[in-house]
Amino acid sequence: MKPIFSKVITLILCAAIAVVSFSGLPVMEADAAEPIVIVIDPGHGGENLGTDYLPIPEKTYTMTVALYMKEQLEKYQNVQVYMTHTDDIDMSLEQRAEFADKVNADFLFSLHFNMSVSHILYGSEIWVPSTGQLYSQGYSAGNEFLKQFEEMGLFNRGIKTRIGSKGTDYYGIIRQCAIRNIPSIIVEHCHVDHANDVPFIQTQEKLKEFGVRDAEAVARYFGLKSKDGKIDFSSYAPLAVPVPSSRVYNDSTAPLYLNARLINYDKTGKYATVELDAFDGESVLQYYSYSCDNGLTWSALQPWTKGSTSMTASINMGYGKKDSLIFKVYNLYDKDTTSNVIQLN
Ligand SMILES: [Zn+2]
């Protein structure tokens, strides 16, 4: 077909389509009875085990929780629930997003379990798209998940974006969904390699609780009503998150400073009370730790007082002579800054 002729044909076709859409039925607003389409994505599968720190790989946990989540979500009205896969198969992140697109997903929830290289981190976290409406929706839905996990007793590691070297969302599932304009989040339920979190995955009952909690988070976010009429979130208001005007970047730098000041040092040499002042202009402070042997060994991470730039730490250093005390503070992205050294003698 000659270019000019094909252009004419294209114009005629466009005109015909325009006539149909303008003269035919009016463009419909979303029908109230049209179900909300949820896609649950059990992270990993097949050869892709995910975190395999424990004898049971991550893919097994994500599938178990996803099945419980689906079962629970289907107790609500006006919702259509799909899973990207129910068999133990390899599936690319693009295929998962394509699946969500094909079923006209209103949201994709990618379920995961975490591990840190240092094995010192614990708690739950949510990764969200970094731009526009997708960021707001992701943050608001993610907030519901973290509220559920905090109720279970897990540490809240926050809601975050992560930008890759190409300047777009680092995580493939989020990037692939964003290309298709599908809201998505990554739900990192807890850390399988930390003693604080392991009790939350050790039994079927605990894994079921994650599934039930995940479903409740979704039901609250979308304001669903249960089929039996016993639960009604239709007047529940999830967190309203303004649409950011530009990309929301992750914090790539450590906290600016940490000052440690000795308030009290017990004569037994065991207990110390220290005032900590820290600042990070880009993200919140999350944990602190301390060392009584000049940084050779460090304590487990302790929760930093949420939203504060200062806090009082009461330290039990154990028996034995201690010469000094040093602290570290960690921000939302686990970047740490070391304090001045407190001399104890
Ligand atoms: Zn994972």
113 Cα–ligand 1 center, Å: 5
Average pLDDT over residues 88-107: 98
What is the percent of the chain where pLDDT is above 70? 90
Q: Domain coordinates of the chain in residue numbers?
A: 36-222, 257-343
On the question of pLDDT at 99 being above 60, the answer is yes
Residues 72 and 64: their CA atoms lie apart, in Å, by: 13
251 Cα–ligand 1 center, Å: 22
Annotation: CATH topology of 257-343:
Immunoglobulin-like (2.60.40)
On the question of pLDDT at 207 being above 60, the answer is yes
The pLDDT of residue 28: 45
Contact 123, 157 (CB under 8 A): yes
50 Cα–ligand 1 center, Å: 5
The model's confidence at residue 317, banded by pLDDT at 50, 70 and 90, is confident
- pTM for the full predicted model: 0.88
Q: Are strands 285-291 and 302-303 parallel, antiparallel or unpaired?
A: antiparallel
The model's confidence at residue 173, banded by pLDDT at 50, 70 and 90, is very high
123 Cα–ligand 1 center, Å: 14
187 Cα–ligand 1 center, Å: 9
**Sequence-distant (≥ 6) Cβ neighbours of residue 298 within 8 angstroms:** 289, 290, 291, 328
Residues 55 and 49: their CA atoms lie apart, in Å, by: 11
214 Cα–ligand 1 center, Å: 16
114 Cα–ligand 1 center, Å: 6
The pLDDT of residue 10: 42
**What does the radius of gyration of the chain's CA atoms come to, in whole angstroms?**
25
Q: In terms of CATH architecture, what is 36-222?
A: 3-Layer(aba) Sandwich (3.40)
120 Cα–ligand 1 center, Å: 18
Average pLDDT over residues 191-212: 97
The pLDDT of residue 1: 40
Contact 154, 123 (CB under 8 A): yes
43 Cα–ligand 1 center, Å: 5
The pLDDT of residue 32: 55
57 Cα–ligand 1 center, Å: 10
Average pLDDT over residues 121-137: 98
The pLDDT of residue 328: 98
Average pLDDT over residues 230-244: 97
Residue (of 86, 98, 105) closest to 39 by Cα position:
105
Identical fold for domains 36-222 and 257-343, yes or no, is no
What is the percent of the chain where pLDDT is above 90? 85
Cα 112 to the chain's mean position, in Å? 9
- pLDDT tens digits, residue range 11-36? 444 344 433 333 334 444 444 579 99
- pLDDT tens digits, residue range 56-67? 999 999 999 999
